[in-house]
Structure 1
Amino acid sequence: MNKQSNSIVADQIGKLVNTADGDLVILHDLSFQIGQGESVAIVGASGSGKSTLLSLLAGLDVPSAGHIQLMEQNLNQLDEDGRARLRGEFVGFVFQSFQLLRHLTALENVMLPLEMSGMGQAQARIAARQWLEKVGLDTRANHFPKTLSGGEQQRVALARAFVNKPAILFADEPTGSLDEVSGNRVIELLFELNRENSSTLVLVTHDPALAARCQRQLTLQGGRLV
């Protein structure tokens, strides 16, 4: 796999945090590559550093050592605003807690990233409706999050994550707070949308069945790849 085909390159990255008891090393010397369009699960026991690694790969945090390239751009060379612009252009997110804005309808939540990227309201509304239809929620477009079930809220979050057709989708325990039926529906949507858009999918999960659906797994143990 050549460099140009990689969405993400991690080179000897480490992460430590300062605590009252001294420095705590969370991640140790991790190196790997993730190809464009690949699906990868980050797995490991609680406290192994999975969510920390996801935050570093997405540029939400910076490593204490090593380098990360996202879409061939070195995150270490970008300030916070630069990393935010890069995420806005290339990245979508799905969180366990949905992260929907309560005062916006399902449609308005999905429109938000399009409007933030400069798309006009009318065009954003059309695109958002199309994505709500893709996830089977076109009839719930004008409902607020509090009137939607957990599974429906996560499907709105999926539509919002994919509406700007991101090159990379990061998902942090996307089925962790859902029942089995809703979780399976979200899993099917994740991989269906991943295939249709050729988006790189990187997810953190405790679910062995979800991890097994990915092309590859990165297993963390005590902050190290095993």
Structure 2
Amino acid sequence: MTEPVIRAQDLSKIVQSGDAPLTILDGVSFEVGAGATVAIVGASGSGKTTLLGLLAGLDRPTAGEVWLGDTALNGLSEDARAALRRRWLGFVFQSFQLLPALTALENVMLPLELAGAGDAAGRAREWLARVGLSARLSHYPKQLSGGEQQRVAIARAFCGEPQVLMADEPTGNLDGATGAEVVDVMFRLNRERGTTLLLVTHNAELASRCARRLSLAGGKLIGDDAVRESP
């Protein structure tokens, strides 16, 4: 494996449920190398989305540690973790998470502007062109199809040139054909940019596109399998 960009060690997450503790994750450990394509799979309630949130520093584990590169997240303040996310991570969600009052171009520009990046408009146009939306720059989310909205979300995620793209059920709200097109875009950008893909999914076809599959059940990592060579 190449030098890990993400490392999880003995991650556990326990929350209070009524009078009893509920274990969501239990002692999960693994590493992910640069440029890898990894699917996180498991039944509903197995801890997939919780794991993704811990890896992104959006939540803190009850026990264990996460590293992005050589930086441990546990000792960082909220502001420091947010700054690390901006440098390292891009996100794609099942529900797209586009701002309805902004055009496609403005949605992609926004994180660049917040980060103080130069030529936000030019970079946003470039990434929207890469996902095939040059003709939709001035369209608002409600004027776009579901597949087009997810392409905008992918452009927004990649425009900051993250080392890792994290996606939570990225095809969950799309029909089969549209979902396949969105998946093709993500894997093409993985090949072109060397971006690590970490995908939570119930979609067997999407999981099969990844070179590696992490399987969760009852909060435990029960499988870590090399499925195929990276596409």
Q: Does 1:158 align with 2:148?
A: no
Structure 2 length-normalised TM: 0.94
User: Paired residue for 2:132, among 133, 136, 160?
Assistant: 136
Q: Does 1:124 align with 2:120?
A: yes
User: Paired residue for 2:165, among 145, 165, 169?
Assistant: 169
Q: Which residue of 2 aligns with 1:27?
A: 25
Q: Does 1:41 align with 2:43?
A: no
Q: Secondary structure at the match of 2:177?
A: helix
In the TM superposition, residue 11 of structure 1 has moved relative to its aligned partner by: 0.6
Instruction: Name the aligned partner's letter for residue 83 of structure 1.
Output: R
Instruction: Structure 1: give runs of 5+ residues left out of the alignment.
Output: none
In the TM superposition, residue 18 of structure 1 has moved relative to its aligned partner by: 1.3
Q: Which residue of 2 aligns with 1:220?
A: 216
Aligned mates of 1:190, 1:67 — CA distance in 2: 28
In the TM superposition, residue 71 of structure 1 has moved relative to its aligned partner by: 1.9
Aligned mates of 2:176, 2:28 — CA distance in 1: 33
1:1-226 to 2 correspondence within 5 Å? Answer: 1=1, 5-120=3-118, 123-226=119-222
Instruction: Name the aligned partner's letter for residue 220 of structure 2.
Output: R
Q: Sequence identity, in percent?
A: 58
Aligned mates of 2:69, 2:148 — CA distance in 1: 31
Q: Secondary structure at the match of 2:74?
A: helix
Aligned mates of 2:142, 2:19 — CA distance in 1: 42
Aligned mates of 1:139, 1:180 — CA distance in 2: 24
Instruction: Name the aligned partner's letter for residue 103 of structure 1.
Output: A
Alignment RMSD: 0.8
Instruction: Name the aligned partner's letter for residue 81 of structure 2.
Output: R
Instruction: Name the aligned partner's letter for residue 24 of structure 1.
Output: L
In the TM superposition, residue 195 of structure 1 has moved relative to its aligned partner by: 1.2
In the TM superposition, residue 21 of structure 1 has moved relative to its aligned partner by: 2.7
Q: Which residue of 1 aligns with 2:226?
A: none
Q: Secondary structure at the match of 2:178?
A: helix
- Structure with more of its chain in helix, by fraction: 1
Q: Which residue of 1 aligns with 2:228?
A: none
Structure 1 length-normalised TM: 0.96
Instruction: Structure 2: give runs of 5+ residues left out of the alignment.
Output: 223-231
Q: Where in structure 1 do 4 or more consecutive aligned residues deviate above 6 Å? A: none
Q: Secondary structure at the match of 2:173?
A: coil
Aligned mates of 2:140, 2:217 — CA distance in 1: 40
